[in-house]
Amino acid sequence: MFFDTKFLKNNDVQLILEKTADGDEKKKWVPTYYFFICDINGNRMGKCELRIGYNTNLYYGGHIGYTIFPQYRGNYYAAKACLLLFQLAKKHGMKYLYITCNPNNYASRKTCEYAGGTLMETVELPKGNDMRDRGEFEKCIYEFILCKE
């Protein structure tokens, strides 16, 4: 079940829903929201997605992915989008999330730190992981606690 997402905005950014995708148990995919990251006037500055649920793939691939278009980088828009996505994840009853990035992606690492993540570890991707097929071999795993029990 997907929720209404019109509440995903603050003074700097708003997330405009592009589409949703149902999960696929055979492929171990979970339901996903896809958004445009926009300024308050609706100008597109990037994209992000939120994957709902938990499985082994998400430990390595993360619950949130994002990209900011080059001309808008350096303004913490990705981190601000993540903070909004945390609200949506909580509505789905999620208690924690992972965001992962390549060790040499310093901008993404700063985004995770700005959004309040804790670096759990840097791991080698397991054999058979589809990211290895794309030439990626390691991931930094950041954890975000959404709900303290």
pLDDT in tens, 109-147: 999 999 999 999 999 999 988 899 899 999 999 999 998
What is the extent of the structural domain holding 132?
Answer: 14-145
Q: Is residue 37 assigned to a domain?
A: yes
| Each residue's pLDDT tens digit, 76-114 | 999 999 999 999 999 999 999 999 999 999 999 999 999
Q: Is residue 5 assigned to a domain?
A: no
Residue 114 is part of a domain; what is its CATH number? 3.40.630.30
Per the CB < 8 A criterion, the answer to whether 101 and 108 are in contact is yes
Matching residue, tokens 């929201």 = 33
Q: Is residue 4 assigned to a domain?
A: no
| Domain count along the chain | 1
For 89-145, list the strands marked E by DSSP: 96-101, 118-124, 138-145
Stated pTM of the model: 0.95
Cβ atoms < 10 Å from Cβ of 134: 7
Tell me the residue type at 149.
Answer: E
Per the CB < 8 A criterion, the answer to whether 103 and 112 are in contact is no
Cα Rg, the chain, nearest whole Å: 15
